[in-house]
Amino acid sequence: MTAFRFTPDSALVDDIVPAANVETRRGNLQPDMLLLHYTGMRSAAAAIDWLARADSKVSCHYVIDVDGRITQQVPEALRAWHAGVSSWAGETDINSCSIGIEIQNPGHEMGYHPFPDEQMSAVVELGRDIVTRHRIIAQRVLAHSDVAPQRKIDPGEKFNWALLAEHGVGVWVEPSRPHAEDPGLPDDAPLACIRAAQRQFAAYGYDVEITGILDAKTVASVTAFQRHFRVARIDGRIDLATLATLERLLATNVSHTARDAGAT
């Protein structure tokens, strides 16, 4: 599809730079997920240029610079190419059910640093605008690393998810602190213990198979979970603090489901 001009979806948008890699959403899917990335590039200008080009084979709905400036590149009604091979709660076409925001940060390979206050304020405001208009539930405001844990680590452990949740964007619970004497389930832990933990991660949405084995997919998903929700120790081990944090998050899922059921 050829890049084209369009009207911004949000009054918060400062500029429009249309992307070439755009298409209709597939399977009648509508955006019910907000997916956050970092650019992993030296500057937002470089990221915007790359995301606009057909030969990049990628695109995203929004880019937010370090000073909070917001550029829209794909209309929210259309499918951008930002998630790649990914999965969440059984859905594998994440591009068709999500709106993607790229947040300028050089990333882990080029001097990863905390996200500035002005930038985070813009993420909060745009995120709140998007989730309100599309009625996106808190549990479906996710990191790229959540839906593609074997490939991606963005936006990373320095992203302030708690701040977003304070302003109604995403979910957050107080993480349990890991203990040095609890290194997590060993590789030869009883199958039933590993399966029970895998069921919990899968119940939250991670693409984990119930194998009873601490396989690469399980370890990657646990690492992604820790990077998002329990950053004190990111090692991919299923320790008691990780499980306790996950259980509190699962309770928010149950609470949300109960409220929805009561409203119908």
Q: How far is CA 252 from CA 202, 213, 248, in A?
A: 15, 27, 7
Domain 15-166 is in which class? alpha beta
**Residue of 102, 109, 174, 181 marked catalytic:** 102
Report the alpha-carbon distance of residue 105 to residue 126 in Å, rounded. Answer: 17
Report the alpha-carbon distance of residue 198 to residue 190 in Å, rounded. Answer: 13
List, for residues 201-240, the tens digit of each pLDDT value: 999 999 999 999 999 999 999 999 999 999 999 999 999 9
Q: Domain locations in the chain?
A: 15-166, 191-263
The residue-averaged pLDDT of 65-86 equals 98
CATH superfamily of 191-263: PGBD-like superfamily/PGBD (1.10.101.10)
pLDDT for residue 259 is more than 50: no
Diameter over CA atoms, the chain: 58
List, for residues 43-69, the tens digit of each pLDDT value: 999 999 999 999 999 999 999 999 999
User: Is 181 part of the annotated catalytic residue set?
Assistant: no
The residue-averaged pLDDT of 113-132 equals 98
List, for residues 12-29, the tens digit of each pLDDT value: 999 999 999 999 999 999
Q: What is the pTM of this model?
A: 0.94
